Structure 1
Amino acid sequence: MASRADNIASNLNLGNFAKATELKQRIWFTIGALIVFRFLSFVPLPGVNPLILSDLYEQTRGGILDLFNAFSGGSLERMSLIALGVMPYITASIVVQMASALHPALSALKKEGASGRQKLNQYTRYGTVFLCAIQGYFLAVGLESFAAQSGLAAVVDPGYLFRIGAVVSIVGGTMFLLWLGEQITSRGIGNGISLIIMAGIVAQFPSFASNLFEGGRTGSIAPWIIIAFLVMIAVLIYGISFFERAQRRLLIQYPKRATERGMMQADRSHLPLKINTAGVIPPIFASSLLLLPLTISQFAGNSVDTESTFGNVIITLNQYLAHGQPLYMALYAIGIIFFCFFYTAVVFNPEETADNLKKNGGFIPGIRPGKRTADYLEYVLTRITVLGAAYLTVVCVVPEYMIAQTGIPLFLGGTSLLIVVNVTVDTITQVQSHLLAHQYGDLIKKAKLKGRMR
């Protein structure tokens, strides 16, 4: 049976794709949903002049909002209905997950299974609406103040009616994206929210490439910087692919069992522990937490009195937390390291894993089952998480610091490449799983037909 499974896996190719009707439907549905996402990014908010928005956005280009703009697929630059993308949902998810780990009542909900998770998801949605309303209001106020300072009438009719309409539109756009992501996850292929973020980043690649080579042609960017940047991208893709597949495999021994020939044989297996158990979650979480106050402060800074104490605080905060500044990089690195350990503790429970091994008769050689096994798993997991956190910090922080110093567009940093590579690998893995399941289904049908013929 094992050799047959190996043969099926080795024969997994694109020729089998034509026979997998369900898989093709899922892929077409995913592509259609992402096209809808891209169309929405070009629908402006009601009451704004889209022809003037690009001129206003140039005033903040090169700042932290470039990262927000990249994650939303350029929607922030065009002030579309989905200007905030899915970042408020991610921020709300962070708050709910941290609260469920600290608050006893929410922790009990988490242990209730599907009903508890449904309740936590409902709280996350409430938090998403709340954060969208706050950020949407400051976006509207900032847009009015930008227009007043520059003399460009980006807002047709400024006032509370425009602000209310903008908040309602932005909240509705973000909630529609969440629904679209859920549809991709259930009816398409891959994780819907991750694919939406990746689609927003990939959509910026053509403009990035044209700006990069145009800068080399005009002489604004030195040729050696372009070559070094392309080499850095290649090295990052290779390094990300290597570390994301790196594992620490723990040997699991099972008691001896009688075989068909009457011999006693011990079964062996492996428990794979990924070096980066948290995946792309830490940089996304760290970015979203930084983007929430920075979005508010950067847009609010244009509408406050610069001579007041509050105005000076806002301006100073924007200066120190600007992209490439030491304080921003330090907070970003600390956030990545924290969420590496936090999310690893959320997704992997050593005590539960040790109990499951004990129930199935499995044990780690040299380690007593039960609490000793849980302690050993936590010991190993903590040390490989240190490596994973260091890898993520280097990949995400160092390239973006170099980009900030050289003036090359921000969005193609290590964080963006990490998301693109991870989501691509996960999606391809799911496609292969569907193809493998389809081949197993064909084998079962053939076996049933042969049994009936006999």
Structure 2
Amino acid sequence: MNDHASLHRRILVTLGVVVVYRLGQSLPTPHVTVRAPEGDHPLRWILDLLTGGGLSTLPVFAFGVLPCLAAPPVLRALIALIPRLAALRAEGEAGARVLTRYRRRLTVLLGLLGAVAVLGFRGQGVLDGRSAVAVACLTAGAAVVTRLTEVITDRGFGDGVRILLLAQILAVLPPEFLRLYEKTGWAAIAVMAVVTLSVTVITIVLAQGQRRVPVQYAKRMIGTRAYGGTSTYIPLRFPQSNSPAVLAAVLLSVPVLLPGASWLEWLRDEGNPGRIAVYFVLVCLFAFSRAAVTQDMDKVAAELARVGGFVPGIRPGTPTAEYLDYVNRRIIAFGAFCSGVVALIPVTGLALLDVSPRVPVAAVTLQLVLVFLVSVSLDTTRQIQARRLQRRYEPFLR
């Protein structure tokens, strides 16, 4: 009974925080004039996804979770530059608590800078009393959003920043799909359904799939007792990332900035099959190179030899590292090919719908959104299952 009560309480806390967050993104900021969105620029669409449409109307939670997303990379850069912060990170749990306080303050500071920049860009002075109230409300909104993310992380399910980002993305996407439907009719629904289903299935297969390399541990006699002799496995996975698609899209945007190069004219045509093929190849290459760099099989083989483990039929040491590297590269090659297919599906779908003003930005953004939705759903489901198993076996562990 307590198990179900705890699960229900965490689910209710998560849903309640999401409701409060969406209300804050609808609450108008005082002394701010609401303006209609200017144009249909792809950059505005991406900012709407990152802020839940807040930069168009400037509610109290105008920046959404954008300051929370920007603060950790900025803090990591400061840690690399400031020795005192690096020393705090080396202090363990005590230093981590101090760095958490610094991250909160940095998030509020980014919210303050964003409020001043946005109001200044809209032509409102930031020195008069009315604008100062608006800046204070927007900054306080960034601080409240930071606290809401921590409440979900500590008392709810999933990572707070990812959950709230998912909520605002789901709030922005329906109007975009409606606009697409008004332009292309039922073809938009059919194409987007196929795109969503295909990307979801392939992403889940890549996230859940693994190659289990069997590992045996040698028996050791300590006194009169035998230890070891058990068998386990090394799970080899393909590390998923959205950066290859982003890098490929950025690289393909370079010819647009070089109008004098006539031999690159075919790369400027977004509907050219050759351009789409180059995009597919670039995504595969970037995905393969990134996965190959992040996984070190020599380190895994050395750790196995240190604890007395070995792969059956393979000698420990260098032969084990070569075997693991051989298996891992085959997995990486297949995963890179699947990443290219995932990147190609939104491009093909939007090309069929002729959404040329937003291609390739829309295709990459759509892929990132779909992969993000799937990853957040999988992570939250795993956390719920782990919590239920922990509650079930907790009486036996006391």
Query: TM-score, length-normalised on structure 1?
Result: 0.63
Query: How far does residue 137 in structure 1 lie from its aligned partner after superposition?
Result: 2.2
Instruction: Give the aligned CA root-mean-square deviation in angstroms.
Output: 4.5
**Cα separation, 1, equivalents of 2:13 and 2:63:** 24
**Structure 1 match to 2:346:** 399
Residue number among 58, 61, 72 corresponding to 1:79 in the alignment? 58
Report the equivalent of 2:266.
none
The reply to whether residue 428 of structure 1 matches residue 381 of structure 2 is: yes
Partner of 2:371: 418
Any idea what SS the aligned residue of 1:252 has? strand
1:89-108: per-residue Cα shift (whole Å, max 9, x none)?
Answer: 32232243456578877555
Question: After the TM superposition, which residues 242-391 of structure 1 pair with which residues of structure 2 at under 5 Å, given as runs?
Answer: 242-256=205-219, 266-276=229-239, 282=243, 341=290, 345=294, 357=304, 360-364=307-311, 366=314, 368=316
| 1:180 is aligned to 2:148 | yes
Looking at structure 1, the residues matched to 193 and 296 of structure 2 have their Cα atoms a distance apart, in angstroms, of 40
Contact map agreement 2:48 2:172 (CA 8 A) in 1: no
- Secondary structure of residue in 2 paired with 1:251: strand
Whether the 8 Å contact between 1:34 and 1:199 is mirrored in structure 2 is yes
Q: Which residue of structure 2 aligns with residue 20 of structure 1?
A: 4
Secondary structure of the 2:385 match is helix
Which amino acid counterpart does residue 389 of structure 2 have in structure 1?
L
Counterpart contact for 1:395–1:415, Cα < 8 Å = no
Three-state SS of the structure 1 residue aligned to 2:217 is strand
Q: 1:223 to 1:373 in 2, by over 3 A?
A: same
Q: Deviation per CA, 1:213-232, whole angstroms, max 9, x where unpaired?
A: 3x1xxxx3154454223211
The structural deviation recorded for 1:80 is 1.3
CA contact (8 A) 2:158 2:379 kept: yes
Q: CA deviation at 1:406?
A: 1.2
2:72 to 82, 93, 117: 93
Instruction: Report if the CA contact (8 A) 2:301-2:316 is conserved.
Output: no
CA contact (8 A) 2:25 2:61 kept: yes
1:436 offset after TM fit, Å? 1.9
Contact kept in structure 1, 2:191 and 2:349, CA below 8 Å: no
Q: What is the rounded CA distance, in whole Å, between the counterparts of 1:115 and 1:383 in structure 2?
A: 43
1:235 aligns with 2:202: no
Q: 1:64 maps to which residue?
A: 43
Answer with 241-250 or 17-26: which moved more. 17-26
What CA deviation, in whole Å up to 9, does each residue of 1:174-197 have, x standing for no partner? 222121111111111111111011
Which residue is equivalent to 2:263?
Answer: none
Secondary structure at 1:160's aligned position in 2?
coil
Runs of 5+ consecutive residues of structure 2 not aligned to the other structure: 251-256, 258-269
Rounded to whole Å, the distance in 2 between the matches of 1:390 and 1:105 is 44
Change (3 A) 1:96 1:247: farther
Q: Aligned with 1:85: secondary structure?
A: coil
Identity %: 25
Higher relative contact order (CA 8 A, sep 6+): 1
SS of residue matched to 1:413? helix
Give the Cα separation in 1 of the matches to 2:93 and 2:315.
34
Distance 2:2 2:240 in 1: 34
Indicate the SS of the match to 1:128. helix
- Contact kept in structure 1, 2:49 and 2:172, CA below 8 Å: yes
Are residues 362 and 96 of structure 1, via their aligned partners in 2, closer, same or farther at CA, if it must alter by over 3 Å? farther
Contact 1:37 1:196 in 2 (8 A): yes
Deviation of 1:41 after TM superposition, in Å, equals 0.5
Q: Which digits, 9 at most, give the CA deviation of each residue in 1:314-352, with x for residues without a partner?
A: xxxxxxxxxx899xx99xx89x959x949x85xx88788
CA gap 1:163/1:350 in 2 versus in 1, 3 angstroms: farther
Distance 2:240 2:393 in 1: 29
Does residue 45 of structure 1 match 2:29? yes
Going from structure 1 to structure 2, the CA distance change for 1:398 and 1:376 (only over 3 Å counts) comes to same
Q: Which residue does 2:118 correspond to in 1?
A: 139
TM-score by length of 2: 0.71
Q: Give 2:253's aligned residue.
A: none
**Ranges in structure 1 where 5+ consecutive residues have no aligned partner:** 1-16, 145-154, 291-312, 314-323, 449-454
User: How many angstroms apart in 1 are the aligned matches of 2:66 and 2:239?
Assistant: 22
Choose which of 131, 136, 140 in structure 2 pairs with 1:168.
136
Is 2:100 the partner of 1:121?
yes
1:14 corresponds to: none
SS of match in other structure, 2:30: coil
CA–CA separation in structure 2 for the residues paired with 1:185 and 1:229: 32
CA contact (8 A) 1:72 1:200 kept: yes
